[in-house]
Chains A and B, each alone.
Chain A
Amino acid sequence: MNRVGARQAVSSRTRPVLSGLMPSLPVWFHRWGSPPHVYRLADRLRPWLGWIAALLIAGGAFAGLVLAPPDYLQGDSFRIIYVHVPSAYLGMMAYVLMAAAAAVGFVWRIKLGHAVAVSAAPIGASFTFLALVTGGIWGKPTWGTYWEWGDARLMFELILLFLFLGYLALRAAFDDQDKADRVSAILAVVGVINVPIIHYSVEWWSTLHQGPTISKLDSPSITMDMLAPLLVMIVGFTLCFAWLVLNRLQGQIVERERDARWLRQLVTERTR
Chain B
Amino acid sequence: MTPRRRRMLLIGSVLLGVVVSAGLALRAFEQNLLYFFSPSEVAAGEVPSERAFRLGGMVLDGSVEREAGSLTVSFVVTDYAHQIPVTYTGVLPDLFQEGQGVVARGRLDPSGHFAAEEVLAKHDENYMPPEVAEAVARGREAQGQ
Contacts and interface: CB of A to CB of B under 8 A. Distances in A.
B26 A70 contact: no
Contacts of A211: 124-125
B91 to A, nearest CB: 8
Size category of the binding interface on chain B: 35 or more
Interface in A45-104: 69-74, 78, 81, 103
A142 B123 CA distance: 8
A257 interface: no
Interface stretch (B28-36, B60-68, B107-115): B28-36
Size category of the binding interface on chain A: 35 or more
Q: Give the dominant DSSP class at B's interface.
A: mixed
A102 to B, nearest CB: 9
A142 B100 CA distance: 12
A140 B35 CA distance: 18
B128 A222 contact: yes
A28 interface: no
Interface string A6-41: 000000000000000000000000000000000000
8 contacts: A72-B132, A74-B95, A81-B127, A107-B4, A148-B35, A206-B37, A221-B124, A226-B129
Interface of A: 69-74, 78, 81, 103, 106-109, 141-145, 148, 150-152, 185-186, 189-190, 192-193, 197, 204-208, 210-213, 221-223, 225-226
List the 4 closest A-B pairs by CB distance, nearest first.
A144-B93, A72-B133, A69-B129, A222-B127
